Structure 1
């Protein structure tokens, strides 16, 4: 860890971790949807959504729009109880095989030194809060999904927690928790969608290497 971590008093540092590709080896949304829907149904959903997914791959549409279409097709009408059962099994059985040793080492080191640790992720509330609880983090800021009368509508209840939205969500959380006495922020990420959050941090890591503000 950095010299800042070792010298700062406990409670004055917040460590913010991206999830997919940072704490885990890979994206986790599609593996979760495969478990929830089954492979044949997921393949059908991907076929239905392929125009939007292709447009996103070609940068003709936004991450938010492509993700919204996929989630709508996958989740609309699913009961909260069904998704919760799937999420519990997913977090218990799948995620432990996906943790990246380097990131997990840093997360545990922060926790052992009494630092506040949070996850800031575009992944969804379908399983992210359970994942955060399994890791013992202090908060999970993620893309929240809408539930009405015990069923998922397939719509996002918050903006997709990606790019600048990560900064907005993180700053709101920091203001609520610390007020004007802002802590030293450490941030960990692995894609361009994490860079706004890394810019906000005093100490930043990008793909397991120190990241310099550019």
Structure 2
């Protein structure tokens, strides 16, 4: 008998707030965070106005905040961030995730957020993780992405590169934004859940 598979977006779907800014504040402190946002305000406004792509704005910010960080130390901080990250999770989303577990389904977190701080959570929940990874050179972060930003069409590409969807009986997908539409389209209409969790 074939197993089912369920894909969950993270920010806004499973969480009550954006995890990236929360992580950056945790990593660099409030003062550097707000200063960084201020000096990159033109980029953020460009993104909000639709002039700049999500991936461009995000990579410029990640370069500012993460460039030069020791890779091993960064991963240690990501592990420490888990306690804070767990406080953002929606009970309704966790209940659904555990329902899938009881069904014996494979569960995959698919997010534009960084794998480095998502993996500790996924490890604890015993689910798979697909996200945006950060580039490391000479043991230090460059601030650039090691892969394409896992957003929009890239979510569908990454999923299909990792899983042969024909091997699964049912495909479920949960999302909350336009960046999830290609992932949602992988599931049949009755198994697509948009803004499902309160």
Q: Residue in 2 aligned with 1:108?
A: 98
Q: After the TM superposition, which of the residue ranges 60-69 and 79-88 deviates more from structure 2? A: 79-88
1:22 and 1:188 in contact (8 A); partners too: yes
1:49 Cα offset (Å): 1.5
Distance 1:135 1:181, change over 3 A: closer
Q: Distance in 1 between matches of 2:121 and 2:139?
A: 21
1:79 aligns with 2:67: no
Q: Distance in 2 between matches of 1:20 and 1:115?
A: 22
1:199 aligns with 2:185: yes
Quick one: which of 148, 169, 173 aligns to 2:158?
169
Deviations 1:31-83 (A, max 9, x none): 10001001111112112221111100111111011001011111100011221
1:66 aligns with 2:66: no
Quick one: which of 95, 119, 129 aligns to 1:129?
119
Q: Residue in 1 aligned with 2:47?
A: 56
Q: Please provide the CA RMSD for this pair.
A: 1.4
Q: Distance in 1 between matches of 2:141 and 2:36?
A: 16
> Any unmatched runs of 5+ in structure 1?
1-8, 210-214
Taking structure 1 as the reference length, the TM-score comes to: 0.87
Deviations 1:72-110 (A, max 9, x none): 11110001122122211111x212211111111110010
For this pair of structures, how many residues does the alignment match? 195
2:4 and 2:168 in contact (8 A); partners too: no
1:182 Cα offset (Å): 4.3
Question: RCO higher in 1 or 2 (8 Å CA, sep ≥ 6)?
Answer: 2
Secondary structure in 2 aligned to 1:121? strand
Q: Distance in 1 between matches of 2:41 and 2:60?
A: 10
Taking structure 2 as the reference length, the TM-score comes to: 0.93
> Any unmatched runs of 5+ in structure 2?
none
Distance 1:183 1:170, change over 3 A: farther
